[in-house]
Amino acid sequence: MTTKLTGKVALITGAARGQGAVEAKLFAREGAKVIVADVMDTEGREVAEQIISDGGDALYCHLDVTQEAEWQQTIATAVSTFGKLNVLVNNAGILKWEGLEETSLELWNQVVNVNQTGAFLGMKHAVPAMRQCGGGSIINISSIAGLVGIGNAAAYQATKGAIRILTKSAAIEYARENIRINSVHPGVIDTKMMTDLVDGDGMNKMAKITPMGRLGTAEDIAKGVLFLASDDSAYMTGSEMVIDGGYSAQ
């Protein structure tokens, strides 16, 4: 049976848990060979091992997305192991809940380095590998925080807005090479990254103010990312896929 990613090789960052882990498992079920990349080695290896035990093909690579040399090594490993690179999902990110005055320069730089510089480095080093196999798809995970103001998350919002426009710039640059680059903008998603920062009451309040009346799931996002990774979205580049239960439409 042909699946949506049969014959494709995909690298997913931040894939040890949450959205990234769900994306990695879904991609494998859809036929992709998956490079599970993260700094959380134990959890990342478990994701790769689960994919393999379920009959898929996966490899874990330690990748600190702020380090250019580690990007180069990970992509070289992907190509040497699986022969090519077709898909990159820049999923790795951190969320800090500080307002403008409370944000130290150290914290600002940390969030920018992971969320923004990490995506830049991923695109920079994935593009040559994709060019070698005639094209590819890059999906940058932004946020509704990159579309609308929410306050008290200065560094996070700045990076997610930057990813949005960086995606459009790169999409134009590489469109004629059949390298498609799109951004995904999740709303409030019920993952550990959120529940580590927001208690149950806070999560319930956010569900109530979402038009669809519920929080998103990692599966909701993974299905959108799968569409952008697959040839079903062959005429899409530079676009924004908003998956937020209607939150940003208000």
Integer Rg of the chain from CA: 17
Query: Both tokens of residue 81?
Result: 């192991």
* Active site residues per annotation: 156
DSSP designation for 189: B
Dihedral, CA of residue 194, residue 198, residue 204 and residue 210, to nearest 10? -50
Question: According to the model, what pLDDT value does residue 198 have?
Answer: 72
Report strand pairing: 179-186 vs 136-141: parallel
* Band of pLDDT at residue 1, cut at 50, 70 and 90: low
List domains and CATH numbers for the chain. Answer: 9-241 (3.40.50.720)
Torsion angle, CA of 190/217/45/167, rounded to 10 degrees?
-100
How high is the mean pLDDT of the chain? 95
* CA dist., res. 17 & res. 37, Å (int): 11
Cβ(75)–Cβ(85) below 8 Å: yes
Choice between 23 and 250, residue whose per-residue pLDDT is larger: 23
Give the pLDDT of residue 85: 98
Whether the pLDDT of residue 248 is over 80: the answer is: yes
Residues 83-105 have a mean pLDDT of 95
pLDDT at position 192, please? 72
pLDDT of residue 197: 66
For the segment 13-55, what is each residue's pLDDT rounded down to a tens digit?
999 999 999 999 999 999 999 999 999 999 999 999 999 999 9
Instruction: Report whether 154 contacts 100 (CB < 8 A).
Output: yes
Q: What is the pLDDT of residues 190-231, one digit of tens each?
A: 877 767 767 778 788 888 989 999 999 999 999 999 999 999
Is the CB of residue 185 less than 8 Å from the CB of residue 144? yes
